[in-house]
Structure 1
Amino acid sequence: MAMLRLTGTPLIACALCVALALPVQAQSTGRYEAPGLTRSSGTPTSGGDYGLPSLTQSDSQAISGEEARLGRAWLRQFRARAPEWQDAIAQDYVESLVARLLPHSGLGNAHPIVTLVESRLLNAFAVPGGVIGVNAGLFAFAEQEAELASVIAHELGHLSQRHYARGQARTEQTQIPAMAAMLAGMLIAAGGGGDAGIAAAMGSQAAFFQDQLRYSRRFEQEADRVGLQAMADAGYEPDAMVEMFRAMQRMMSLQGGTPPEFLLTHPMTESRISDTEARASQIAVATPRDGDLEYQLVRARALQAIHSRDPRQASTRLAQDEAPAPARRYLAALIDADAGRTDRALRELDALSRMLPDLAMVPATATQVAFEAGRLDNAIARSRRQLRLMPDYVPASRLFGEALLQRDPDEAYRVLRDLAERRPEDPQVFTLLAEAAGRSGREAWGHLARAEQLQLTGRIDRAIRQLEVAKEVARQQDDRAAAIEIERRREAFLGYREALEEFQ
């Protein structure tokens, strides 16, 4: 199995990244209110208006066009420098989890982009434009799905309440330096810099947050309350957020009681934990979710990736945490596959597929094992069979297209082109599409797909040069459809470059 190349020291700091949000235009009177934000008397702070931005009016947007523009520019810069966890199955899982929480977080109309970071550090972050990042290390720390959901729900709470915009209104800081500081810090943290990375992320904001700690604490309270309600509405027990807080507290105790600098912006106080615990006890779960086995399988993937040099540590961790037997069997199959014991791995995965027919990731994992072992025909057959039953499962489509590259490039191109239309922000899909286009004789389209992959990973100048190559090839081959699309995308690329230059 493809492994993570994790770098840096073991996790020594617990940090959840503060959500950035950009200033917005004047809000309408209807507002999305963080649950329970009242004065001690139980009345709203100002006639039902808690000073929170509107996210429910039909004429307003949870994420503005400007936020999306800058957020995606930020992500491209991040991708250009940070190690990415390229795991389509884990990616699909996190995207599904985010989609489950979004409607209950005041961000129902948003179209977020999830990026997975190849790092054992415990971290998750959200930035303007709906960019949500999750480190592989977060899966190792969170023993249950609800605990992971609590982290993401909290971050979505920061976004929905536009906390950075509200804090920024009290300063003279501009948007771009703050986002650039966050980019620098996240890159350092992703590379194993730990607390130093978090400190750098805050940069010039540190003094502001120290001076405005009361507001920072209020923001945390608001994000907690929005997150708690979102969890319950999505079917998760809100007590899981309290459990995560307690676990963070224990981790800080192991570090001598000194929190990392980053927690200046996420103050972890006993009163905050008590407040969250009290509110969690008052919130009823709408429709409880049945188990979290899917999460446990993804967690097994993360642990195997983190402990790729000594997979026994991953097995020991699942056993210590009393993970369900299917998760331990799934991990054993992953380890077998990585060790070259392909037949044994496939037998176990096929048995699990029969036991768990509704978990799409299990047969997809078997397809991945067959593909990586060079059994292309078997991988193609498995993909076809799964896609007949689960046509919308993205990892299966991606594996199908990748396997077809070696057997039928023309069909691979059609499969991957359709996938690229569904996932226009996925650089790995465009990497495969470029190869399929080249192998199937669609040279101009291949150069265009390569240009898309380059711009999605922050290499915009190279992407524009690649477009020029595509344009010339389209002219030589008299491919008018390609020429029209290339020109259309060139205008977009120039806009991307302008946004990226703001971070230089």
Structure 2
Amino acid sequence: MPGSAILKIDFPRSLARKAVALACASALALPLVSVPAMAQGRSLPLVRDAETEHLLKDYATPIFKAAGISNSEPEIILVNDKSFNAFVPDSRRMFINIGVIMESETPGEVIGVIAHESGHIAGRHLVRLRAAAANAQIISVIGMILGAGAAAAGAASGSGEVASGGGAVIMGSGSVGQRSFLSYQRGEEAAADRAALKYLSATGQSPRGLLKTFERMSEQQMFTRKYADPYAQSHPMAQDRYNSLATDAQKSKYFNQPEDYVLQYRHDMVRAKLFAFTSHPSATLRAYPRSDKSPQAQYARAIAAMKSRGKGAVKEIDALIRTQPNNPYYYELKGQALIEGGDPKGAIAPFRKALSFKPTEPQFLTWLGYALVASNDKSNLPEAERILKEAIQRDQNSGVAYSQLAIAHGRQGERAEADLATAKGLMVSGDFQAAKRYAARAQKSLKRGTPAWLQADDIVAYNPPNLPNNGR
């Protein structure tokens, strides 16, 4: 947990590979994104931040309702990547890079991204994309068979020309299959763009932000567009997408509607927060100098002070709290600053204060549990255990909560429970083999057939996708 209120985690590699497999098909951003590198074994870096996640949820809720996917509301997951990109690997998850928020000047730009990705989910594009990929592969295989047959016939007749022609058939069939598949992808992207316009209209929101996104992407493609083969792209060229949408977008009766000022304020605050947490303190002070008295500038500078481990960090955060005494995220930041400054006991009170405004926020619960454990006060351990269990119940993907729960159990002499909590945390982080070892060790001390023993047994028996069956 130390290091940033924006908790950094790694997406389990097996799940990352599944997400990556269809990422380019559903990504709003440029086709040349960093995703393919993850397919080579790198994990997907995720971040957690309650304030940002709540803002994105408020952006998405009306869009999901308009798209008819609110009953099975997709989880929005933040990716620790400053590039402008978003994608959906399935109907349950929507990945959005922090760069989408950091580069967007208005809420409408982010909402446009969410609307586009919702179009993929509502249109079941990922399901049909798998079928299209299979068809493209079939085309390639048939071509290879025909080509191999032609090559064999040429060899039998002694005709080098026919054999050479067979090779051309093989190469050509693969190209036809790939282009057929890419053409299908481009059609789905256009359909998602159209769906986004419909959702924005249905929710009474301006499509200006969506157009702004395509303007930005077109500028980025400016130097490559001249040499790009439009038929070898998984997405339509950004300028073409802009041209296709501009007329209808400008006809919207909501086109000139101003941004919601409350959402704009929250958006500016989150942008400043993300910038400060992901930049060197000196860069933050250049972007938000002392002469800038805006709330977002004060927020960014307070975060920069905390990252610099300066003695004045808490003082700057207290000044923020005086301006908004009911802002839970300011108290969260103060608690973190105290932990970073070596005073976890002092951090307990601000984390409690943050929870008084949002009692069910799992990340606040995790922070409080962390502070209680780190306070080195044995009398705090039972409460820490209870709070961390509640955090996990509300967010089962919190590896930090599991690790702190393991420490709380261990300090109370509950070794088997500590090993089981560690195993669960390792499962969340994707280290399945280490999780199996801790679960097996926990089983030896747990009563057979109890819920805890069965949970450990499930981990021991688990065989992750793409890995061989290693037995028990």
TM (norm. structure 1) is: 0.68
Residues 271 and 485 of structure 1: is their aligned pair in 2 closer, same or farther, counting only changes over 3 Å? same
Cα distance in 2 for residues equivalent to 1:292 and 1:205: 48
Mapped pair 1:268 → 2:230: no
Alignment of 1:400-411 (within 5 A): 400-407=368-375, 408-411=380-383
Q: Deviations over 1:403-431 (max 9, x none)?
A: 01123122111111001011112323222
Question: Following superposition of structure 1 onto structure 2, how do residues 277-316 of structure 1 map, counting pairs within 5 Å?
Answer: 277-283=246-252, 289=260, 290-308=262-280, 311-316=281-286
Give 3-state SS (helix, strand or coil) of 1:170's partner. Answer: helix
Do structure 1's residue 485 and structure 2's residue 452 form an aligned pair?
yes
Secondary structure of 1:133's match? Answer: strand
Aligned to 1:348: 316
Choose the corresponding residue for 1:454, options 426, 435, 442.
Answer: 426
Deviation at 1:373, TM superposition (A): 1.3
Which residue is 1:424 aligned to?
396
1:110 alignment partner in structure 2: 72
Match of 2:343 in 1: 375
- 2:364 alignment partner, SS class: helix
Alpha-carbon shift at residue 97 of structure 1 (Å): 4.3
What residue in structure 1 maps to residue 206 of structure 2? 237
1:276 maps to amino acid = L
- Give the equivalent residue in structure 1 for 2:154: none
Match of 2:441 in 1: 469
Matched positions, count: 400
Structure 2 matches for 1:47-86, cutoff 5 A? Answer: 81-85=43-47
What per-residue deviation string (whole Å, max 9, x for no partner) do you get for residues 34-90 of structure 1?
Answer: xxxxxxxxxxxxxxxxxxxxxxxxxxxxxxxxxxxxxxxxxx999972333354544
SS at match of 1:84: strand
> Which residue identity lines up with residue 346 of structure 2 in the other structure?
N
Query: Which SS does the other structure have where 1:248 is aligned?
Result: helix
Q: CA deviation at 1:358?
A: 5.5
Kept in 2, the 8 Å contact 1:80–1:458? The answer is: no
Q: What is the CA–CA distance in structure 1 between the aligned matches of 2:357 and 2:228, rounded to whole Å?
A: 49
SS in 1 for 2:263: coil
RMSD: 4.0
Instruction: Give the corresponding residue for 1:13.
Output: none
CA distance in 2, matches of 1:140, 1:332: 16
> What is the CA-CA distance between 1:391 and the residue it aligns to?
1.0
* Contact 2:62–2:203, Cα closer than 8 Å, also in 1: yes
Conserved 8 A contact 2:440-2:460 = no
**What secondary structure is seen at the aligned counterpart in 1 of 2:72?**
coil
Which residue type is aligned with residue 67 of structure 2? Answer: S
Q: Classify the secondary structure of the residue corresponding to 2:83.
A: coil
Q: What are the Cα deviations for residues 96-154 of structure 1, in whole angstroms up to 9, with x where unaligned?
A: 54455433333212253444333333322221252332333333322222212222321
Q: How has the CA–CA distance of structure 1 residues 279 and 162 changed in structure 2, closer, same or farther, with 3 Å as cutoff?
A: same
TM-score, normalised relative to structure 2:
0.72
Alignment of structure 1 residues 90-101 onto 2, 5 Å: 90-94=52-56, 97-99=59-61, 101=63
Indicate conservation of the 8 Å contact 1:19/1:159, yes or no: no
Q: CA deviation at 1:333?
A: 0.8
Aligned to 2:124: 162
The C-alpha deviation readout for 1:451-484, integer Å capped at 9, x for no partner, is 1111222222322222111111224xxxx78x32
Alignment match, 1:27:
none
C-alpha distance in 1, partners of 2:131/2:446? 49
- 3-state secondary structure, aligned to 2:82: coil
Q: Separation in 1 of the partners of 2:414 and 2:282?
A: 46
1:120 and 1:171, CA in 2 relative to 1: closer, same or farther beyond 3 A?
A: closer
Structure 1 counterpart SS, 2:45? coil
CA distance in 2, matches of 1:78, 1:92: 32
Q: Which moved more, 1:360-369 or 1:243-252?
A: 360-369
- Flag the structure with higher helix content: 2
Matching of residues 301-340 of structure 1 within 5 Å? 301-308=273-280, 311-317=281-287, 325-340=294-309
Partner residue, 1:8: none
Higher relative contact order, chain-length normalized (CA < 8 Å, sep 6+): 1
Q: Which residue of 2 aligns with 1:365?
A: 333
Larger Rg: 2
The letter of the residue matching 1:363 is Y
Give the 3 Å change call, closer, same or farther, for CA 215–450 of structure 1 in structure 2. same
Three-state SS of the structure 2 residue aligned to 1:110 is: coil
Give the whole-Å Cα distance in 2 for the aligned partners of 1:338 and 1:263.
45
Contact 1:398 1:416 in 2 (8 A): yes
Q: Contact 1:252–1:258 at 8 Å: present in 2 too?
A: no
Alpha-carbon spacing, 1:449–1:332, altered in 2? closer, same or farther (3 Å): same
Mapped contact 2:88–2:94 kept (Cα < 8 A): yes
Distance across 2 between alignment mates of 1:306 and 1:388: 28
- Aligned residue identity for 1:386: A
Aligned partner letter, 1:468: A
| 2:222 alignment counterpart | 253
Task: For 2:460 and 2:174, locate their aligned partners in 1 and report how far apart those are by CA, in whole Å.
Answer: 31
Instruction: Specify the alignment match of 1:218 in structure 2.
Output: 187
Q: Deviations over 1:241-270 (max 9, x none)?
A: 101110111122256756699992221243
The corresponding residue for 1:2 is: 3
Gap regions ≥5 residues in structure 1: 6-15, 22-75, 176-203
- Percent identity reads 24
Distance 1:79 1:446 in 2: 30
Q: Which residue, 383, 395, 399 being the options, matches 2:363?
A: 395
Specify the alignment match of 1:228 in structure 2: 197
Task: Decide whether the 8 Å contact of 1:18 with 1:126 is kept in 2.
Answer: no
Aligned to 1:385: 353
Aligned residue for 2:115? 153
What is the rounded CA distance, in whole Å, between the counterparts of 1:238 and 1:263 in structure 2? 28
SS where residue 291 of structure 1 aligns?
helix
Quote the Cα distance in structure 2 between the aligned partners of 1:118 and 1:263: 29
- Residue ranges of structure 2 left out of the alignment (5+ in a row): 9-21, 28-37, 138-172
Structure 1 distance, partners of 2:410, 2:204, is: 46
CA distance in 1, matches of 2:409, 2:67: 40
1:240: Cα distance to partner? 0.3
The separation in 1 between residues aligned to 2:311 and 2:175, in whole angstroms, is 52
- Partner Cα separation in structure 1 for residue 316 and residue 426 of structure 2: 39
1:382 CA drift (Å): 1.0
> For 2:218 and 2:274, how far apart are their aligned partners in 1?
23
Match of 1:134 in 2: 96
